[in-house]
A and B are shown apart, each in its own frame.
Chain A
């Protein structure tokens, strides 16, 4: 796969605080890539360096296989933190300024405004827009000129559920067109729903990175139920990696110290003459995983 963004040992400090520390990752064309981390973990600092808002202290990165330049930024659409527009200009003029800077024609201004649901308000001053509309205009401006990469920093921050849904719908549509997306968020749910790849940051350090599905595949507890519950419980204790169980409403939830194979468990219990009426993997959510990751490292 073609590499769109290559980041190598990127570092940046604010005084004594290391905001980003030796961060390396790679984004391929068409990927929906998440940068996940709590507030202050270095997400915005990372994106700011990637967009030339601040120089990195150490390390380097390349866009489209080339050293970063204003030309590479013209191929990227970005929404970083708050939407930044002139409040006294209308939506169309604000977007025309963006198009001028990016050397893109005005042709798709109407299209992106429609996509963002702002076409009717296109001649209203930015000042008169609601918070959700501002966020959508920022997204519209990022989509102007069909960028190859879309960078979104907390795109749904502070929005109401309806606003969040609208933004996510647009992101999903853009992703389906094959646009590479780099999304920074502190919301696990958001990354889980939108992204296929993820790096998890804490205090500027990458804790972990990889395929979101692989992360979700970590399963360490199983729900079981059988007609002969006492026999089931007795048998379960003999399973390898067994830690504990909780009994709830006619079933038990069993915890293991390692990843378990449900087929193996079924065979094992069948051989003991226990017939299961219920067997389900209880996958850890990314959220639990995330919180654990954050706690594990001192």
Chain B
């Protein structure tokens, strides 16, 4: 285990593309989260110009809502795609530069190769979640002090949900890169599917044409995003009676994990069968 991690770490330590993309991801993530309130309230101001009854400003950085809101923004397709692309690059590089072949020649087993990639996904998901959790905590602390930190009722569940979203989504990306073996193609298809195909499917199959649980609900990427589907904006609930998400569904977490497990199973089977 440690040995595999050592190897993986050497592969990325001086890889500029990896660090640039990771840096961009965090910049994008931080900017999105920190500018969200300002942007929403900007929209509110615009609306208020047209409506006679003024709509109050939202506050999204207070405990306990900050946990859910950060998890929500970090789980948006356009943000989540960053670590996925990084993962695609890391796996397809192994095929492009035939280093997977060389690793096996040098005495790595195919199972070890797969394990090393899954380990790096796990580590990345842990690190990103920890950083995000620390960030949420600091934001909350800055806005509401130690009142209602709600670590156990809101903090841990929503950060755990984000962790599972990120982990599973990166496994999807790994699977896509692993099967296609070509960086450009894998990124194009993965991005196209995540950002365009699934939303289009949603558009055509949404209620009321079908029951409440439509096909769309079970599409792989949606099951990932659905874990933190809505932000927590108490005012919406108070004023308009909108019943948005207030907890993380355990069952919902199992679905993307099931997808990820199936993908890992297929990848492992293919890796055993295929000539390198």
Chain A interfacial positions (CB closer than 8 Å to B): 48, 51-55, 70-71, 73-74, 78, 80, 82, 84-90, 93, 96-98, 100-103, 141
Q: Which residues of A contact B7 (CB under 8 A)?
A: 97, 100-101
Q: Which residues of A contact B276 (CB under 8 A)?
A: 48, 53-54
A84 near B101: Cβ-Cβ < 8 Å: yes
Least CB distance from B275 to A in Å reads 4
A80 near B6: Cβ-Cβ < 8 Å: no
Q: Which residues of B contact A103 (CB under 8 A)?
A: 3, 107
**Which listed residue, B11, B15, B93, B112, touches A97 by the CB 8 Å rule?**
B11
- Of the candidates A71, A96, A98, the one having the most CB atoms from chain B within 10 angstroms of its own CB is A98
The closest CB in chain A to the CB of B3 belongs to A100
- C-alpha spacing A70/B106, complex, angstroms: 8
Chain B, residues 97-127, CB within 8 Å of chain A (1/0): the string is 1110111111111001000000000000000
Q: Which residues of A contact B3 (CB under 8 A)?
A: 100, 103
A89 near B102: Cβ-Cβ < 8 Å: no
Q: How many A-B residue pairs have CB under 8 A?
A: 76
Least CB distance from B90 to A in Å reads 11
The closest CB in chain A to the CB of B98 belongs to A84
B16 within 8 A of partner (CB): yes
Least CB distance from A67 to B in Å reads 14
| 5 tightest Cβ-Cβ pairs between the two chains A and B | A74-B107, A54-B275, A84-B102, A84-B98, A73-B107
Q: Which residues of B contact A82 (CB under 8 A)?
A: 98
B17 within 8 A of partner (CB): yes
The closest CB in chain A to the CB of B113 belongs to A101
Least CB distance from A107 to B in Å reads 17
Given contacts A86-B93, A101-B103, 15 further A-B contacts (CB under 8 A): A51-B105, A52-B105, A70-B108, A73-B104, A73-B106, A78-B106, A80-B105, A86-B15, A100-B3, A100-B6, A101-B7, A101-B107, A102-B106, A102-B107, A103-B3
Q: Which residues of B contact A101 (CB under 8 A)?
A: 7, 103, 106-108
Least CB distance from B142 to A in Å reads 39
Q: Which residues of A contact B103 (CB under 8 A)?
A: 101
**Which listed residue, A80, A88, A96, touches B15 by the CB 8 Å rule?**
A88
- C-alpha spacing A141/B102, complex, angstroms: 10
B153 within 8 A of partner (CB): no
B98 near A51: Cβ-Cβ < 8 Å: no
- The binding surface of chain B is classed by DSSP as helix
A74 near B106: Cβ-Cβ < 8 Å: yes
**Which listed residue, A73, A80, A84, A96, touches B10 by the CB 8 Å rule?**
A96
B105 near A53: Cβ-Cβ < 8 Å: yes
Least CB distance from A65 to B in Å reads 18
Least CB distance from B229 to A in Å reads 38
Q: List 29 A-B contacts (CB under 8 A).
A: A51-B104, A51-B105, A53-B276, A54-B275, A54-B276, A55-B275, A70-B109, A73-B105, A73-B107, A74-B107, A78-B105, A80-B101, A82-B98, A84-B99, A85-B102, A86-B11, A86-B15, A86-B93, A87-B97, A88-B16, A89-B10, A89-B15, A93-B10, A96-B10, A97-B11, A100-B3, A100-B10, A101-B107, A102-B107
**Which listed residue, A52, A97, A102, A141, touches B104 by the CB 8 Å rule?**
A52
B14 within 8 A of partner (CB): yes
**Which listed residue, B10, B97, B104, B107, touches A53 by the CB 8 Å rule?**
B104
Q: Which residues of A contact B107 (CB under 8 A)?
A: 70-71, 73-74, 101-103
Q: Which residues of B contact A90 (CB under 8 A)?
A: 14
B10 near A97: Cβ-Cβ < 8 Å: yes
The closest CB in chain A to the CB of B17 belongs to A88
Q: Which residues of B contact A73 (CB under 8 A)?
A: 104-107
Q: Which residues of A contact B10 (CB under 8 A)?
A: 89, 93, 96-97, 100
- C-alpha spacing A86/B104, complex, angstroms: 15
The closest CB in chain A to the CB of B116 belongs to A101
Least CB distance from B274 to A in Å reads 8
Q: Which residues of B contact A54 (CB under 8 A)?
A: 275-276
- C-alpha spacing A235/B276, complex, angstroms: 63
Q: Which residues of A contact B99 (CB under 8 A)?
A: 84-86
Q: Which residues of B contact A70 (CB under 8 A)?
A: 107-109, 112
- C-alpha spacing A84/B96, complex, angstroms: 10
Least CB distance from A41 to B in Å reads 18
8 Å CB contacts to A: which residues of B1-36? 3, 6-7, 10-11, 13-17
The closest CB in chain A to the CB of B108 belongs to A101
- Of the candidates A71, A90, A100, the one having the most CB atoms from chain B within 10 angstroms of its own CB is A100
- C-alpha spacing A283/B187, complex, angstroms: 60
A98 near B104: Cβ-Cβ < 8 Å: no
Known: A93-B10, A100-B6. A85 touches B97 (CB 8 A): yes
The closest CB in chain B to the CB of A126 belongs to B97
Least CB distance from B9 to A in Å reads 10
- C-alpha spacing A78/B105, complex, angstroms: 7
The closest CB in chain A to the CB of B100 belongs to A84
Least CB distance from B262 to A in Å reads 24
Q: Which residues of B contact A86 (CB under 8 A)?
A: 11, 15, 93, 97, 99
Least CB distance from B154 to A in Å reads 42
